[in-house]
């Protein structure tokens, strides 16, 4: 059986961020790709570009078996009709536009979609939801800084895709985020929570395998079968 091809929208990297490179670049962190490889998939890294939501996004996704949305900086709060909090960081408008458009197209196609951290938030906003722009509770780590991750527990609702994928109803996960899902997008439901009540997992109603995880399963998947199983289940769906 051929390896499923997974679309992976990349991080834009500004000129000068990579030593010795004269021009801007794009990248996908290795741990996501390694988790896909262990699950038997092949990645295709996509540069963020302007897409027409009605046609071009669907044409892009026709070439792929699944879509993986990665972590990263914050979405522009104007995407969900809010003023920007002073703690919002790392906004890249072209990345927001590209990923939101792809997420909507993937949902419309019924394509398997795994959305991680920022991606989890992109999925929610793409379907009309909102975000809490800065958490007032501790224990979720600090994004965008070395050593900012932390481990904490999540409770997963039995009978959900997330529970079936991970094989557990409680897990220790790695997080480094300061935002979270607030109002759920259309058709989405919360399926996992931190002990403080922060929504850590979402799923789309219906038959399509569309799952969001607020934590970073790729960070520990190499040594934690529970986290690797999430990628395994995602890639298995890409075979269908």
List the catalytic residues. 117, 216, 218
pLDDT at 19 over 80: no
β partners of residue 11: 27
Contact at 8 Å (CB) between 100 and 91?
Answer: no
* pLDDT at residue 24, as a whole number: 84
| Confidence bin at 143 (pLDDT 50/70/90) | very high
Structure pTM?
A: 0.96
pLDDT at 20 over 80: no
CA distances for 30 relative to 41, 158, 203, angstroms: 14, 31, 25
| 17, pLDDT greater than 80 | no
Position 55 confidence tier, pLDDT thresholds 50, 70, 90? confident
Q: Give the C-alpha separation, 236 to 216, whole Å.
A: 20
Model pLDDT for residues 174-207, shown as the tens digit of each residue: 999 999 999 999 999 999 999 999 999 999 999 9
Q: Using 50, 70 and 90 to split pLDDT, how confident is the model at 54?
A: low
**Cβ(171)–Cβ(154) under 8 Å?**
yes
- For position 1, what pLDDT does the model report? 60
- Which of 23-32, 203-212, 228-237 is predicted with the least confidence, judged by mean pLDDT? 23-32
Kindly state the average pLDDT of the residues 63-86. 97
**SS3 of the chain:** CCCCEEEEECEEECCCCCCCCCCCEEECCHHHHHHHHHHCCEEEEECCCCCCCCCHHHHHHCCCCEEEECCCCCCCHHHHCCCCCCCCCCCCHHHHHHHHHHHHHHHHHCCCEEEECHHHHHHHHHCCCCEECCCCCCCCCCCCCCCCCEEEEEEECCCCHHHHHHCCCEEEEEECCCCEECCCCCCEEEEEEECCCCEEEEEECCCCCEEEECCCHHHHCCCCHHHHHHHHHHHHHHHC
Domains and CATH numbers, the chain: 5-239 (3.40.50.880)
- List pLDDT tens digits, range 155-170: 999 999 999 999 999 9
């Amino acid at each position: 059986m051929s390896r499923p091809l997974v679309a992976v929208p990349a991080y834009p990297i500004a000129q000068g961020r990579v030593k010795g490179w004269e021009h801007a670049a794009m990248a996908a962190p290795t741990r996501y790709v390694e988790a896909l490889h262990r699950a038997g998939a092949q990645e295709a890294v996509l540069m963020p570009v302007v897409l027409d939501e009605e046609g071009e996004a669907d044409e892009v996704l026709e070439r792929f078996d699944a879509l993986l949305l990665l972590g990263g900086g914050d979405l522009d709060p104007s995407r969900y009709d809010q003023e920007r909090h002073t703690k919002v960081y790392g906004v890249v408008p072209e990345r927001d536009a590209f990923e939101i458009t792809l997420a909507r197209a993937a949902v419309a196609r019924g394509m398997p979609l795994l959305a991680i951290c920022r991606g989890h938030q992109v999925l929610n906003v793409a379907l009309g939801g909102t975000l809490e722009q800065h958490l007032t509770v501790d224990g979720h780590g600090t994004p965008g800084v070395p050593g900012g991750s932390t481990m904490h527990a999540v409770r997963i609702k039995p009978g959900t895709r997330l529970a079936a994928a991970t094989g557990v109803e409680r897990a220790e996960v790695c997080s480094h985020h300061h935002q979270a899902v607030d109002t759920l997008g259309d058709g989405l439901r919360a399926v996992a929570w931190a002990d403080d009540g922060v929504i850590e997992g979402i799923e789309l109603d219906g038959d399509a395998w569309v799952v969001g995880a607020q934590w970073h399963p790729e960070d520990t998947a190499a040594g934690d079968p529970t986290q690797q199983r999430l990628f395994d289940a995602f890639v298995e769906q890409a075979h269908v």
